Structure 1
Amino acid sequence: MCRNIKPLFNFSPPATDEDIRAAALQFVRKIAGTRKPSRQNTDAFEVAVEEIFQSSKRMLEGLVATTPPRDRRKFEELKRLRFRKAEAR
């Protein structure tokens, strides 16, 4: 899976539509194997992003958390620390 797609469920603050759309875009880019589609493929690319965005949003709205929300800033900081440790090796 693409490293740029972040977990979006059960965070405080909650994921925004922009967060969900960015993850959908990264997913479609990964599947298509291209960052920017050709003119002929633009419509199919944009439709896929919108469908995945809508589906992901419905899923996130339907999920039920069994634990307290995690702090998004702390989560991102821990991720950066793990990355720095891995780079130092």
Structure 2
Amino acid sequence: MCRNIKTLFNFDPPATEDEIQAASLQFVRKLSGFNKPSKANEEAFQLAVEEVAAAARKLLDSLVTQAEPRNREVEIERARIRSAKRFGAGEK
């Protein structure tokens, strides 16, 4: 489940609110063990997602680096190559 959380720091353009929200949702799902919480836990679950997203945004906004920003397309291609090496090329 957490393999879906991607690095969000030092990209050009910066991470979007949707990307931060998606990573926060995955994190809370992993911690809680719920893919979708029950009605009784829904409010606490959503609050946790919001708080994690706020903390993630604060972290990303405060980090500094001297490194050049990464290119999303290059990183996607690198991940595809790593995946192909790890799992083999998919047959279609």
CA RMSD between the two structures: 1.4
> Percent identity between the aligned chains?
49
The Cα shift of 1:67 comes to 0.3
The Cα shift of 1:44 comes to 0.3
The Cα shift of 1:39 comes to 0.5
Spell out structure 1 runs of 4+ moving beyond 6 A.
none
Q: Distance in 2 between matches of 1:57 and 1:88?
A: 36
Structure-2-length-normalised TM-score: 0.92
2:34 aligned partner, one-letter code: T
Structure number having the greater strand percentage? 1
Deviation digits for residues 12-41 of structure 1 (CA, Å, limit 9, x no counterpart): 121001100100000000111121000000
- Count of paired positions: 89
1:5 aligned partner, one-letter code: I
Structure-1-length-normalised TM-score: 0.95
Q: Is 2:26 the counterpart of 1:52?
A: no
Deviation digits for residues 31-72 of structure 1 (CA, Å, limit 9, x no counterpart): 111210000000000000000000110110011122010101
**Structure 2: runs of 5+ lacking an equivalent:** none
Equivalent position of 2:43 in the other structure: 43
